[in-house]
Amino acid sequence: MAITIGLADGQVSAWDQQAGLPADGASAAQEAAGNAATYVPPPKLTLTDYPRMGFLNGRVVVWLAAQMHLWFAAFILAVPIFVFIIEAIGMATRDRRYDQLAYEFIKISIAAYSLTAILGGFLLFCLLIFYPHLTQYLATIFKDAMFYYALLFFLESACLYVYYYGWHWLQGGMRKWVHLTLGLVLNAAGTTLMFLANAWLTFMMSPAGVDEAGAFRGDVWAAIHNHLWNPINLHRFIANIAFGGSIVGAYAAFKFLSAARAEERAHYDWMGHTANFIAISALLPLPFAGYWLAAEIYAYSQQMGITLMGGIFGWLFIIQAVLIGTLFLAANYYLWCAMGRSDGAVRYNRYVKYLAIVLVGAFLVWFTPHTMVLTNAELKALGGPYHKILGPLGIMPAKNMAVNVMILFTVLSFLIYRRANKIAQVPWVKAGNAAQAALFAAGLSNIFFLGIYHGYFTNTVYKVASSIPQVVTTLLVIVAALLIDTVMYRGAREVAPLRWGRVPERAQYALFLLPVAFTWLMGLMGYIRSGIRQHWHVTGLVRDNSADAFTPTLGYAANVVSVGAILFMGMVIFVFWLSHVSTARPALAASRMESTA
Amino acid sequence: MTGYITPFVLAFAVFATAFLTIDVTIMSLQGLSLIFQP
C-alpha cells in the first residue's frame, strides 16, 4: 500500500505514514527501526482525500454494496446452521424426509454463495476507491485478521462444495457422520468469518487496542474484542437464522403456489412450515439480543446511545416497531391458517380472534411514538410535546411490555397449532391446562408489574434494571409451557393424519411478507448502526471530512434502503429461479421424450 | 369447573411466587431492591 503519488523527494505520503515507513533517503538504521512494528496515528483527512468517480456518490455506493453483501452473507451463513440441525434430526429419527429437506435448503443457498462473494469483492473495491485512507488504516490494524479471513474462505468453500455436491455420495453409516462433520466445520468457518468481519465495523463504533491518537498498540485481539463486538456477534448470529429461515420459507411458498401435483403441494407446505418455524424460533429471542446491543451502545457512549433512540434516529425505531410487528402478525397469521391442516383445529378456532386482538393491541402500543413533530399551534392545542393519554405508551417500559406480550402470545399460537391435531391421553389434562394457563397468567402479571411499577413509578436505574427480570420471565414461561405441553401430550392420539397441502394460498403470502419485512428491517437497522457514528469514520479517532459528512434526512435514508431491498429481492428471485430450473430440466426432458415417442 | 379452578389457583400462586423470587434475585444482583428506594 506504500504508493506515493506525485510527491516530491523526501516527502512521506499519508499512506506511508500509516504503514510506519520512513521517508525516502533515510539511513539503514532508521529503516530498520521503521521495519519494527511501530504504528502512527491515522491521518487527518481532508476533502481531497476522498476520490470521486463521475456522478457516483461514494457514500451511497459503499452503503448499498455493504448492505447487499450483508443480506446475502446473512442468508448463506444461516442456511448451513439449520441444514446441519435438520440433517442431524434426520439421522436421529431415520426419517429420510428430513435429509431431503436439508438437501433442498442447502441447494437454494449455493447460487447465493457466489453472489455473496461477488458483492464482497465489489464492496472491497468500493472501499478502496472511495475511502482509501480509512481502508488502509483498518487494514493496518486488522491485517492479520484480514489475511486469515481470506484464507478461511478456502476452508468454507471446500466444506460447502463437498457438503452439497457430496450429499448423496456421503450417505450411510460412517460416511453420513463424515458429512455431518463437514457441515459442522462449514458452520464453524462461516461463523468465524462473520465474527472477524464484525470486529471491523464494531471497531469503527467502539475502537479499542489503540491509543488516544488512534495509533495501533499492536494487539489485534484487543482491537477485535472491542466493546460492541460480542453484542453484535450474538444479535447477528440469531438474526441470520431468522432471516435465512424466512428466505427459504418464501422459496417454499413460491414452489407451493406453482405446484402442479398434490404431492408437491404437500411437500412445499411442509417445507414452508418448517422454514417458518425456524424463522419464528429465532425471532423470539432476537429483541433481547437487540436490547443488549442497544444497552451496550449506551454504556460505551451516552451520546451515541441518545442519538440512537432519543435523537434523530428515534423515529426510525418507530418504523422498526412497525416492521417487527408485521413480522409477528404475519408469522401468527400463517400459524392460524396452518391450523386448517388438522381436522381437530375446529376446537381452537374460537381462540384465534382473542390472540389477534392482543397481538394487534401490543403492536399499536409498540409503535406509538413519544415526542411528536408539531407546529407551535399543535403544541399549544396538545398542551405540550406529548399526548396526555398516549404519551406514556411512547416510552420504553410500554414497548418492553408490548414486545414480551407479543412473544408470549406467538408462543401461545404455536402451542395451539401444536395441539390442534392431538388429543391428550393423560388423566391430568384439565389440571395440566390449568397449570399452563396459570403459568401464562402469572408470567404476564409479573411482566406488567415490572413494566408499570418500575417503568412509571421509579427512576431510570430501576426502569432499565427491571427489563432483565422481564426477559427472564418471558423465557421461563416459554420453556415451562413447552415442557408441560410435551409431557401432557406424550402418547397423545392423533385426530387424523395432518393434511399437508390443505392450507389457503393467502398463508403463502404471509411467507412472502416475512423476508420482505426482514430485509427492510435489517437495512434500516444497519443504517442506524452506522449512522450513529455521525461525523466519525472511527468514533473519536478518524473524522469524516468528506462531502457526505452529514446525517441524511430519514426519508432519504429510507429511500436508499428501499432501493437496496428491491435490488436484493430481485437477486433472490434470480437465486430461486436457478433452483427452480435446476429441478425442472429432467421433467422437461422427459415430457419432450414422451411427446416425440 | 372445580377440576380447573383449584389447580389454576394453586399453580398461579406457585408461579407468581417463583417469578417474584426471581425478580428479587435479579434486581439484587444489580445492586437494587425490588421495591423502589429513593
B36 and A462 within 8 Å at the Cβ level: the answer is yes
Longest dimension (CA), chain B: 46
**pLDDT at residue number A16:** 42
pLDDT higher than 90, residue A163: yes
A465 and B22 within 8 Å at the Cβ level: the answer is no
B11 and A466 within 8 Å at the Cβ level: the answer is no
Q: How confident is the model at residue A309 (pLDDT cuts 50, 70, 90)?
A: confident
Closest CA to A475 of A449, A447, A455: A447
Q: How confident is the model at residue A547 (pLDDT cuts 50, 70, 90)?
A: very high
CB pairs under 8 A between A and B: 71
**pLDDT at residue number A159:** 96
Q: What kind and span of H or E run contains A398?
A: helix A396-419
Helices (H) and strands (E) in chain B, counts: 1, 0
pLDDT digits (tens, 9 = 90+) for A280-301: 999 999 988 999 999 999 999 9
Write A460-467 long-range contacts (CB < 8 A, 24+).
A461/B32, A462/B32, A462/B36, A463/A396, A463/A397, A464/A295, A465/B27, A465/B30, A465/B32, A466/B23, A466/B27, A467/A291, A467/A396, A467/A400
Pairwise CA distance, residues A248 & A81, whole Å: 13
**pLDDT at residue number A43:** 86
Dihedrals φ, ψ of A544, to 5°? -85, 110
Q: Is A454 on the interface with B (CB under 8 A)?
A: yes
- Lowest-confidence range among A133-147, A247-261, A375-389, A523-537? A375-389
**pLDDT at residue number A594:** 52
User: DSSP readout, A310-361?
Assistant: TSTTHHHHHHHHHHHHHHHHHHHHHHHHHGGG-GGGGGGHHHHHHHHHHHHH
Closest CA to A584 of A254, A342, A244, A315: A254
Percent of chain A whose pLDDT exceeds 90: 81
Q: Please report the sign of the dihedral spanned by the C-alpha atoms of residue A119, residue A121, residue A123, residue A125.
A: negative
Contacts of A451 in chain B (CB under 8 A): none
Nearest to B32 among A431, A462, A476 (CB): A462
**pLDDT at residue number A31:** 53
Pairwise CA distance, residues A421 & A341, whole Å: 9
Contacts of A437 in chain B (CB under 8 A): 8
Residues A108 and A582 sit within 8 Å (Cβ to Cβ): no
Residue of chain B whose Cα is closest to the Cα of A447: B19
Cell numbers linked to A106: 442447502
**pLDDT at residue number A18:** 43
Q: How far is B23 from chain A (nearest CA, A)?
A: 5
A472 and B20 within 8 Å at the Cβ level: the answer is no
pLDDT higher than 60, residue A481: yes
Beta bridge partners of A538: A542
Q: Hey, which bits of A517-594 come out as E strands?
A: 536-538, 542-543
**pLDDT at residue number A593:** 54
Residue A394 DSSP symbol: G
Q: How confident is the model at residue A8 (pLDDT cuts 50, 70, 90)?
A: very low
Residue A53 DSSP symbol: B
Mutate to test the interface with B, among A447, A450, A462 (most CBs of B within 10 A): A462
Dihedrals φ, ψ of A542, to 5°? -120, 110
B19 and A476 within 8 Å at the Cβ level: the answer is yes
Span B10-32, mean pLDDT?
A: 96
pLDDT higher than 80, residue A32: no
Residue of chain B whose Cα is closest to the Cα of A441: B12
pLDDT digits (tens, 9 = 90+) for A166-216: 999 999 899 999 999 999 999 999 999 999 999 999 999 999 999 988 899
**pLDDT at residue number B1:** 64
pLDDT higher than 60, residue A153: yes
Q: Is A487 on the interface with B (CB under 8 A)?
A: no
Pairwise CA distance, residues A448 & B19, whole Å: 12
Classified as helix, coil or strand, A97 is helix
Q: Is B21 on the interface with A (CB under 8 A)?
A: no
Question: Is the pTM above the cut of 0.90?
Answer: no
Classified as helix, coil or strand, A263 is helix
A466 and B27 within 8 Å at the Cβ level: the answer is yes
B30 and A468 within 8 Å at the Cβ level: the answer is yes
**pLDDT at residue number A179:** 97
Contacts of B23 in chain A (CB under 8 A): 446, 450, 466, 469, 473
**pLDDT at residue number A311:** 82
Burial (Cβ within 10 Å: 0-12, 13-18, ≥19) of residue A234: middle
pLDDT higher than 90, residue A234: yes
B3 and A430 within 8 Å at the Cβ level: the answer is yes
Classified as helix, coil or strand, A543 is strand
| Residue A409 Cα to chain centre, angstroms | 22
pLDDT digits (tens, 9 = 90+) for A381-412: 988 888 888 889 999 999 999 999 999 999 99
SS (H, E, C) A432-483: HHHHHHHHHHHHHHHHHHHHHHHHHCCCHHHHHHCHHHHHHHHHHHHHHHHH
Pairwise CA distance, residues B30 & B34, whole Å: 10
Q: How confident is the model at residue A370 (pLDDT cuts 50, 70, 90)?
A: confident
B12 and A438 within 8 Å at the Cβ level: the answer is yes
Residues A452 and B23 sit within 8 Å (Cβ to Cβ): no
Give the ipTM of the model, two decimals please: 0.96
B7 and A469 within 8 Å at the Cβ level: the answer is no
Q: How confident is the model at residue A584 (pLDDT cuts 50, 70, 90)?
A: low
- Lowest-confidence range among A13-22, A101-110, A194-203, B24-33? A13-22
Q: Please, what's the b/e burial string for A463-498 (b: 16 or more CB within 10 A of its CB; e: otherwise)?
A: bbbbbbbbbbbbbbbbebbeebbeebbeeeeebeeb
pLDDT higher than 70, residue A11: no
For chain B, the straight-line distance linking the first and the last C-alpha, in angstroms and rounded, comes to 46
pLDDT higher than 60, residue A7: no
**pLDDT at residue number A111:** 86
Q: Is B38 on the interface with A (CB under 8 A)?
A: yes
Pairwise CA distance, residues A418 & A252, whole Å: 21
Burial (Cβ within 10 Å: 0-12, 13-18, ≥19) of residue A48: exposed
In Å, what is the CA distance from A311 to each residue of A302, A308, A370, A397, A532?
A: 12, 6, 12, 18, 10
Nearest to B22 among A435, A458, A469 (CB): A469
Residues A473 and B22 sit within 8 Å (Cβ to Cβ): yes
Percent of chain A whose pLDDT exceeds 70: 91
pLDDT higher than 90, residue A423: yes
- Lowest-confidence range among A97-101, A232-236, A580-584, A587-591? A587-591
If you search the block for the grid coordinates 403456489, which residue do you land on? A257
| Residue A312 Cα to chain centre, angstroms | 23
What mean pLDDT, rounded, does chain A reach? 90
Cell numbers linked to A459: 427512576
Q: Is A171 on the interface with B (CB under 8 A)?
A: no
Q: Is A476 on the interface with B (CB under 8 A)?
A: yes
Residue A210 DSSP symbol: B
**pLDDT at residue number A586:** 54
Contacts of A469 in chain B (CB under 8 A): 19, 22-23, 26-27
